[in-house]
A and B are shown apart, each in its own frame.
Chain A
């Protein structure tokens, strides 16, 4: 073997080695990124399961004294997160009531006007709204509702802030879904003499329902865990409150309160575990709908 082939041979080996190192490093780093998910789930489950019992779902959050006494006696902290669960249901429900109809109508508008200057502007604005930091929407909810409308912190203000937050994802998923429906479907209905609005309401929207539903659920899961905007709007409450013009609690707000109160630390894990399972559940069901219930023509 002469020298030149020996050198090229060594070079070849080097290149192959480099390739191998790169591939393995990539696989390693890719899977390492997923590790935090399991660490978080593990930590919440291990520390939180002790508090998960019936009263956790049906009783209001304990105050500091009750918790302190329970911890001193080495008992499970009494009470639960019922005020947070009810608050989250009300705030998120109201936000959905505001955002879902507007979002679907706007998404339909964008899908029906693919070209057009105004539609382009709306599309751009929806994109920009998607990027607005949640804390800024909290400030907006405070200035729009807390000060002038409800004269104090309120569930309504929280709902308004969160509804702006979930709008873009509903608009975009509606638009994207409706765009994929073949034009022949619409043309067939129109050619039978069905008026335009009935074509949209009875043919186009029902056909795209699964995609729209996926967007709605993803939108809900995006806002259900939001804490920052609620700190400036709904504030929090120690009791169950069904009046939307009064301050209200929410599960993420309770997590924040427990975090700030050393006596209630044991409650953090169960409340977070509940919140996390709720949101991951919503995420997974959105995915399942998207996969199983695909648009059929």
Chain B
């Protein structure tokens, strides 16, 4: 074989390796959760019990699925006005100059802060504030985690939005201005309808981030295995549960945690896929 051919095989084999890694991850999670699935079946998804007491071990994922969706969707709602403002600021109002490039750098750096540092800051700065406001006795809980998550996903939620807003055709905006529209009216009636689905795709991808976030949530959510009763209640997300309990888990609990990992993997996969699908439609 000449080097030409070897080189081409090398290129293709790297692609094959990617496929193998992905298949390997899926297969590993599947195989790992078989014992748990045999024991609990699909009831695992709907059971609210998480009882590791020996003899009457019983595991269910519902409180953690709900906890995950509650924290991440709440985070998305909190982040929306901020991310949308940044998108508009960078994509429409101030495209060039020192101020927007400063804001752009700050937002980029927000994305660089490690999760565990966000968790620390949340613990020492945000948690006491939440407790002081009387929202919840100690300041831990779903709401506190959501606020931290909201800050963490601002960069992801705003960057795609800024891009699509800046691509709205100038002629459309000028047409609206020439009819006497104010800038706010242009934003509302021209930019949002035009760039809406792109902005939305950015939020979906940010949601995917929030669902998988682990450390900051683990440090703030209170780690309760009961079904959360409201947004100020304590809870656990799928990621924080695994982080907390995987280390010492054995037997049934171990495979139940892998099954939780599988559910988390599938949910983030679906959310990301929807986001990519919207983006693909956009560019087509």
Contacts and interface: CB of A to CB of B under 8 A. Distances in A.
Interface of A: 15-16, 18-19, 22-23, 25-34, 36-37, 39-40, 43-44, 102, 105-106, 108-110, 112, 118-119, 121-122, 125-140, 142-144, 164, 167, 171, 195-197, 200, 221, 224-228, 231-232, 235, 252, 255-256, 259, 268, 272, 275-276, 279-280, 282-284, 287
B14 interface: yes
A142 B255 CA distance: 13
A29 B82 contact: yes
B219 A259 contact: yes
Interface in B172-219: 182-185, 187, 205, 208, 211-215, 218-219
A256 B32 CA distance: 27
Across the A-B interface, give the 9 residue pairs with the lowest CB-CB distance, nearest first. A133-B212, A225-B114, A197-B7, A29-B85, A131-B272, A228-B214, A34-B106, A106-B14, A19-B182
Contacts of A164: 21, 25
Contacts of B130: none
A134 B212 contact: yes
B18 A125 contact: yes
Given A39-B121, A252-B114, A140 B22 contact: no
A109 B272 CA distance: 24
Interface of A is mostly: helix
A44 B7 CA distance: 49
Contact of A131 (B15, B112, B258, B268): B268
Interface of B is mostly: helix
Nearest to A275: B114
Contacts of A102: 14, 17
Contact of B212 (A22, A29, A32, A135): A135
7 contacts: A27-B85, A33-B107, A33-B110, A125-B19, A133-B211, A138-B242, A231-B243
B154 A15 contact: no
Contacts of A36: 110, 121, 151
Nearest to A110: B15
Interface of B: 3-4, 7-8, 10-12, 14-15, 17-19, 21-22, 24-25, 28-29, 32, 81-83, 85-86, 88-90, 93, 103, 105-110, 112-121, 123-125, 151, 154, 158, 182-185, 187, 205, 208, 211-215, 218-219, 239, 242-243, 246-247, 257-258, 261, 264-265, 268-269, 271-273, 276
A143 B32 contact: yes
Contacts of B264: 133, 135-136
A26 B212 contact: no
Contacts of B185: 15, 19
A138 to B, nearest CB: 8
Given A37-B113, A140-B25, 17 more contacts: A26-B85, A30-B90, A33-B86, A40-B113, A102-B14, A106-B14, A125-B19, A133-B213, A139-B32, A171-B18, A195-B4, A227-B215, A232-B242, A259-B219, A275-B114, A275-B116, A279-B113
B151 A197 contact: no
A43 B124 contact: yes
A255 B81 contact: no
Contacts of B120: 255, 259, 268, 272
Contacts of A144: 24, 28
Contacts of A132: 25, 212, 265, 268-269
B258 A139 contact: yes
A202 B208 CA distance: 39
Contact of A143 (B7, B28, B106): B28
Contacts of A272: 116-117, 120
B136 to A, nearest CB: 21
